[in-house]
Amino acid sequence: MDSGYGITVLTLFPELVREYFRTSLVGKAAERGALHLEAVDIRSFARDRHRTCDDAPYGGGAGMVLMAEPLAAALDSVDAQARHVVFPTPSGFPFRQDDALRLSRLDGMVLICGRYEGIDQRIVDEYVHEELSIGDYVLSSGELAAMVIIDAVYRLREGILRSESVREDSFQDGLLEYPHYTRPETFRSRSVPEVLLSGHHARIARWRREQQLIRTAEKRPELLQHVQLDEAERKLTESIRTKERDDE
Ligand code: ADE
């Protein structure tokens, strides 16, 4: 991996983000020079002596809105007009593995962490390339969402992990992952599935694919629409879905 990938996080809680950088695998990658990480304190760009960064929303309503001016100054300080700017928000497009892959192929990104009710829309209009939601729930701030996005993206950059373990991730092939086992062979009278001890690679691969299909049909049937299945696989997943409907 080249050292050209730059991640900048604009936040009111730089210590939180720096702690993540310091203690995580993404931080280790940065130490090796594999990427550049930076947390910028939005508050240091506030203009008044109270360092105010939020204000009441025009039109009334609960909560506070992150003001345009300090945020714009923070964005300009990191040359955001020339970079890919991501705003994590529950109102964004759903963030998926495909998006992580797409973002990992750029030369980096700037993430804006919102607080309160949100950020002034004019910042979104002027600087933001994409708004991403990490799930259908509302967090109290954007930092956790930004860390989720960073984590998913950085690990896809070449050379961070063995290419094999990235390839077999859940979602990389549109299916959930198969179950994993390690020693001991028997734990509280639960044995590792026979096939995994067989040393028979083709049988193991077939079993794993089957487990992926079963898990996906049970937990995330909607994902199967996008996966190429052969006739036997289609029957298997159909039978699980029929059984689930019968059980309801
Ligand atoms: N900020 C608050 N909640 C969020 C979510 N679900 N996704 C992205 N950013 C958020």
> pLDDT tens for residues 25-64?
999 989 988 899 999 999 999 999 999 999 999 999 999 9
Q: Are residues 116 and 30 in the same domain?
A: yes
Q: Are residues 122 and 212 in the same domain?
A: no
Q: Are residues 144 and 76 in the same domain?
A: yes
- Residue 100, classed as helix, strand or coil, is helix
Local confidence band at 14 (pLDDT 50, 70, 90 cut-offs) = very high
Active-site annotation holds for 54: no
- Assign residue 31 the CATH number of its domain: 3.40.1280.10
Å from CA of 134 to ligand 1 middle? 6
Comparison of pLDDT for 166 and 72, the residue scoring more = 72
H or E element that contains 87: strand 85-94
- Kindly report the length of the chain: 248
Domain end, chosen from 163, 196, 228, is at 163
Q: Are residues 86 and 208 in the same domain?
A: no
Mean per-residue pLDDT, 135-150: 96
User: What is the identity of the amino acid at 136?
Assistant: D
- 40 bridge partner residues: 10
H or E element that contains 23: helix 14-23
Local confidence band at 243 (pLDDT 50, 70, 90 cut-offs) = confident
- 65 bridge partner residues: 55, 118
Residue 119 corresponds to which tokens in the numbers above? 């950020």
Active-site annotation holds for 88: no
- Residue labelled with tokens 């259908």: 136
Expressed as residue numbers, the domain containing 144 is: 5-163
- Ligand 1 pocket, residues with Cβ under 6 angstroms: 88-90, 133-135, 137-139, 142, 145
Q: Are residues 191 and 225 in the same domain?
A: yes
- The whole-angstrom separation of Cα 23 and Cα 14 is 14
In a domain, 118, yes or no: yes
Lowest-confidence segment of 5-19, 91-105, 149-163, 187-201 by average pLDDT = 149-163
Domain end, chosen from 163, 194, 223, is at 163
Å from CA of 94 to ligand 1 middle? 10
The residues near 65 (Cβ < 8 Å, ≥ 6 apart) are: 54, 55, 56, 57, 116, 117, 118, 119, 120
Q: Are residues 159 and 194 in the same domain?
A: no
- Tell me the backbone φ, ψ of residue 247, rounded to 5 degrees: -70, -20
Å from CA of 23 to ligand 1 middle? 22
Local confidence band at 1 (pLDDT 50, 70, 90 cut-offs) = very low
Residue-averaged pLDDT of the chain: 93
Q: Are residues 99 and 148 in the same domain?
A: yes
Q: Are residues 113 and 67 in the same domain?
A: yes
Q: Are residues 194 and 136 in the same domain?
A: no
For residue 2, pLDDT over 60 is answered with no
Local confidence band at 143 (pLDDT 50, 70, 90 cut-offs) = very high
The 3-state DSSP composition of the chain as helix, strand, coil percent (nearest 5) reads: 45, 15, 40
For residue 3, pLDDT over 70 is answered with no
> pLDDT tens for residues 172-215?
789 999 999 999 999 999 999 999 999 999 999 999 999 999 99
| Residue of 44, 48, 41, 50 whose CA lies nearest to 13 | 41
Q: List the residue whose alpha carbon is closest to atom 9 of ligand 1.
A: 89
Domain total for the chain?
A: 2
Q: Are residues 64 and 137 in the same domain?
A: yes
In a domain, 17, yes or no: yes
Domain end, chosen from 107, 129, 163, is at 163
In a domain, 130, yes or no: yes
Q: List the residue whose alpha carbon is closest to atom 2 of ligand 1.
A: 139
Active-site annotation holds for 238: no
Mean per-residue pLDDT, 126-137: 97
What's the pLDDT at 245?
83
What's the pLDDT at 115?
78
Q: Are residues 202 and 134 in the same domain?
A: no
- The whole-angstrom separation of Cα 93 and Cα 140 is 18
> pLDDT tens for residues 227-239?
999 999 999 999 9
- Assign residue 193 the CATH number of its domain: 1.10.1270.20
- The whole-angstrom separation of Cα 192 and Cα 196 is 7
- The whole-angstrom separation of Cα 12 and Cα 15 is 9
Q: Whole-prediction pTM value?
A: 0.91
- The whole-angstrom separation of Cα 98 and Cα 156 is 11
Strands laid side by side in the 118-119 sheet: 54-55, 65-66, 118-119
- 191 bridge partner residues: 186
